[in-house]
Structure 1
Amino acid sequence: MANRQSSSVVVIGGGPAGATVSTLISQQGYQVELLERERFPRYHIGESLIPETYWVLKRLGMLDKMKSSHFVKKHSVQFVSPSGRHSAPFYFHDNKPHECSQTWQIRRSEFDVMMLKNAEEQGVVVREGVRVLDVLFEGDRAVGVQILDEAGNQKEIHADVVVDASGQSSMLINKFKLRVPDTQLNKGALWTYYEGAYRDQGKDEGATIVLSLQNKKGWFWYIPMHDDIVSVGVVADFDYLFKGRGNHESTYFEEMENCPAVKERITNAKQMAPVKATKDYTYRAKQAAGDGWVLVGDAFGFLDPLYSSGVLLAMKSGELAADAIVEGLQIGDTSRSQIGKWETGYVEGMNRMRRLVCEYYDGFSFGEFIRRFPHHRGSVTDLLIGDLFKPELDQVFHDIDSMKVS
């Protein structure tokens, strides 16, 4: 093919995972080309950050931009039981008195643009409106991509490493049939946005609130954002939410009747968008890397939205992959064992969050657990803020198991 280019690393996808991995590699002096099919800004769900994103944002040079943004500050998460009883807020700062314990409720269309521009400012070649047609291989090794630009021109870009950060439609997860659905978390979600909905005051204004349905079959998220907008969505088992029901709008409002605490909060609010839906979204790839290629963010896997871990896991996987790729480029080793060396530790952290999600769906009570094991309050808060990569947290789950048999 006549049009051939080369780059050290090609990243497919410009969301938080792609922007993170590309920025951190570029910071080390390597040529990185980021290819994004759409033109930003574009809509995306996933609006609540958890505190551990702070450390990745710091490495990216994004903290000052976040601090000067109009995003609502988030200090805590609160849970509302099926009976309508509110838990005490889990204030992140009480557990970790550091500025990292304040995070943000974001609008993804704005946040993703900020991340992409930040990548460009730090040397990443960002190309929007570019469709990746195929990942190129020589034997089992990825060596680049074939693209189609907006003018209709096909080109090849050769690279030492191809990073797939293209989200749930990942080309490589489908090419190699790596997707493994999580049958225990076969959930779906319906959501919309309200203007003028109730929000708490002061430190609690930006809290994420998780409200159980009265029938205990699911829960609502309630996320206050800037411009007087609140994101309100319901999550439940796929069969319950989508089989034998009416249209998405009617199902959504039927479930709101099943959660009076949410209905009360939106009494005087105006619905600002049609009800949106997503289904079958919990899955993981069998492997995170191969020779010359890596999966990060949703291209590797997605966990339930219960604890707002999506953006953190996207950015964390991007960070860990970037460090392994940089080390591999430095020593001339871009094999699976090198550029995927982060996978085991990352999956262990992801599994801790998954376990906490599963416990919630099995009826786990934070309040009862903390009353029984008060010394674990800090560890539970660590899990809720996304500080997942510490083996000592496994003691929490040991004691949860002990409650079940006692």
Structure 2
Amino acid sequence: MKSSYDVVVIGGGPGGSSAAATVAGAGLDTLLVEREAMPRFHIGESLMPETYWPLKRLGLTDRIQQAGWQAKQSVQFVSGNGRESEPFFFRDHDTRECSTTWQVERSEFDKMLFDRAAELGAECHDQSRVLDVHFDSDGKATGVSVRDRDGKQHDISCRVVVDGSGQQSFIANKLGVKEVNPNLKKAAIWTYFSGAVRGEGDNDGATIIMHTESRNSWFWFIPLSRGITSIGCVADNDYLLKGRGKPEQVYQDELMQCPGLTRRLENATQLGEIRTAKEFSYSTTQSAGDGWTLVGDAFGFIDPVYSSGVYFALEMGIRAGDAIIEGFQIDDLSGQQLGKWNESYAKGANWVRKLVQAFYTSEFSIGRFMKEHPEHRGNVTDLLIGRVFHEDAGNMFDDLDASIERAKMTAMNS
């Protein structure tokens, strides 16, 4: 590593790698630092269709299509009694090339992004840990300290630090600007199966969201390549991981309450260990400052239910990269310049956040809402696709909020 760069990017996930690829491709001297050995395991395998566009911007769509990952053309919901909704086929709402997306192995996918940043000129180091981000007396980021894979420490100056450190949230935690949403403190327990029964025809690669009978938890069902399926349970952290014994037993207990899933696993074989993670939803009260900006989960995390994480991380990485490039061109690396994309991004992402909040409202049923307001099927599909950065994205929420209130009143009076 050198002692100075234009841009230092922390984290080799989708947010960090896309930011590094964008600025390096514009000729900026860029260092990308990832603490783990690449490729590394990561959860979050399901891609929203709108992911196609940042991948195209990065020049990766051909490689993605040739990688052999499971095609995803739809999303489906299953109620606690096992009743299945009609699939939401993306092509019914959008016939462009983005209507087919993918269920990816994140180790391979993230390595592809990391390598693309290197191809475009970034100096990329894995197994290298950022120890600190340095700020001057005025609060401007001036550099980082890094311990490389050989244990040597480097003090590096730079003009911009991009924090893509994921839920580690390096800068946000250092500056005290991270806020956890108290209503979305979730946890996940998951593993992998071979031989799970998938959907039929073009629905065979669908992400399926399945409620348990109690509605205290839900399962994701994500078909991957090579006949493997990722299956995870999500619920409130206190419900799932506190006082109920080992995660393996909790997983089985919740599975037995999910008739939509048990019949799909009758002849399936579990592969590997049970894994757990805290999936706390959080945001940041400040997402950019003089000489620094946040991307990906370091910026904020909503929830795994609609698989928005990878798309939003890529979108943020590219938007942040464009703001940095412009900042170098006009010699303005202020927080206002580096974060100029924050407001428009947050407005679009908020529609997904609102749909997540509706999902966790026990009285809400997406099937019932569709019956009440079939005219909003396109709006719902927009959100499932990830097409949220346009003026009409939130049109359905007045009707959705009213539907939830009616359901609550009915429940109170019954």
TM range (shorter): over 0.9
- In structure 2, the residue matched to 1:372 is 372
2:4 is matched with which residue?
6
Aligned to 1:261: 260
* Correspondence 1:344-359 to 2 at 5 A: 344-359=343-358
**Partner residue in 2 for 1:281:** 280
- Aligned residue in 2 for 1:399: 399
Deviations 1:8-35 (Å, cap 9, x if unpaired)?
Answer: 1110110111111111112212111101
Distance 1:56 1:158 in 2: 29
Runs of 4+ in 1 over 3 A off after TM superposition: none
| Deviation of the 1:405 alpha carbon | 4.7
Does 2:265 match 1:231? Answer: no
CA 1:280–1:74: 2 relative to 1, 3 Å: closer
CA apart distance, 1:336: 0.5
Quickly say closer, same or farther: Cα 1:28–1:386, change in 2 above 3 A: same
Residue aligning to 2:209: 210
CA contact (8 A) 1:4 1:158 kept: no
Q: CA separation in 1, counterparts of 2:30 and 2:300?
A: 23
Aligned to 1:61: 59
Once the two structures are TM-superposed, the CA of residue 55 in structure 1 deviates from its matched residue by: 0.6
Deviates more, 1:273-282 or 1:108-117: 273-282
Compute the RMSD of aligned alpha carbons. 1.3
The 5-angstrom pairing of residues 5-154 of structure 1 reads 5-139=3-137, 140-154=139-153
Q: Which amino acid aligns with 2:376?
A: H
Q: Tell me if structure 2 keeps the 8 A contact 1:282–1:301.
A: yes
CA distance in 2 between counterparts of 1:393 and 1:152 reads 49
Q: How many residues align?
A: 404
Letter in 1 for 2:351: R
1:366 Cα offset (Å): 2.2
Distance 1:17 1:4 in 2: 23
Q: Tell me which amino acid in the other structure corresponds to 1:85.
A: R
Measure how far apart 1:370 and its partner are.
2.2
1:170, CA displacement in angstroms? 2.2
Distance 1:185 1:280 in 2: 8
Q: Which amino acid aligns with 2:398?
A: H
Q: For the residues of structure 1 that align with 2:402 and 2:237, how far apart are their CA atoms?
A: 30
Q: Distance in 1 between matches of 2:268 and 2:3?
A: 53
SS in 1 for 2:3: strand
Q: CA deviation at 1:372?
A: 2.2
Cα distance, 1:383 vs. partner? 0.6
Match of 1:211, as an amino acid? M
Amino acid across the alignment from 2:235? A
Deviations 1:237-290 (A, max 9, x none): 112112220110000000001102211111111111111111252111111111
Q: Any conservation in 1 of the 2:79–2:260 contact (CA below 8 Å)? A: no
- CA shift, 1:42, in A, is 0.7
Deviation sequence 1:356-380 (CA, Å, 0-9, x none): 0111111322222222222211111
Task: Report the CA distance between 1:402 and its aligned residue.
Answer: 2.6
Distance (Å, rounded) in 2 between the aligned partners of 1:324 and 1:205: 40
CA contact (8 A) 2:83 2:260 kept: no
Are 1:212 and 1:218, in contact at CA under 8 Å, matched by a contact in 2?
Answer: yes
Contact 1:352–1:388, Cα closer than 8 Å, also in 2: yes
Q: Deviation per CA, 1:35-94: give whole Å up to 9, x if none.
A: 111111111110000101111000000100001011000000000011111000000011
Q: Structure 2: 5+ residue runs without aligned partners?
A: 407-414
Q: Which residue number corresponds to residue 164 of structure 1?
A: 163
Question: 1:326 aligns to what?
Answer: 325
Secondary structure of the structure 1 residue equivalent to 2:336: helix
1-structure distance, mates of 2:198, 2:372: 31
SS, match of residue 33 in structure 1: strand
Note if contact 2:348-2:393 (Cα within 8 Å) is conserved in structure 1.
Answer: no
Contact 1:37 1:128 in 2 (8 A): yes
Amino acid at match of 1:275: I
Percent identical residues: 48
| Distance in structure 1 (CA, Å) of the matches to 2:404 and 2:356 | 16
Partner Cα distance (2:17, 2:125) in 1: 12
Query: Which residue number corresponds to residue 411 of structure 2?
Result: none
TM-score (structure 2 length as normaliser): 0.95
| Separation (CA, whole Å) in 1 of partners of 2:404 and 2:68 | 44
Q: What is the distance in 2 between the residues matched to 1:27 and 1:399?
A: 44
Deviations 1:96-152 (A, max 9, x none): 111101100001011011111111111111111211111122221101111111222
Match of 1:340 in 2: 339
Mean Cα displacement is larger for which, 125-134 or 332-341?
A: 125-134
Aligned residue for 1:247? 246
Is the partner of 1:393 in helix, strand or coil? coil
- Contact 2:287 2:342 (C-alpha < 8 Å) held by counterparts: yes
Q: What is the distance in 1 between the residues matched to 2:394 and 2:198?
A: 35
Q: Give the residue type in structure 2 aligned to 1:24.
A: T
Structure 1 range deviating more: 260-269 or 70-79: 260-269
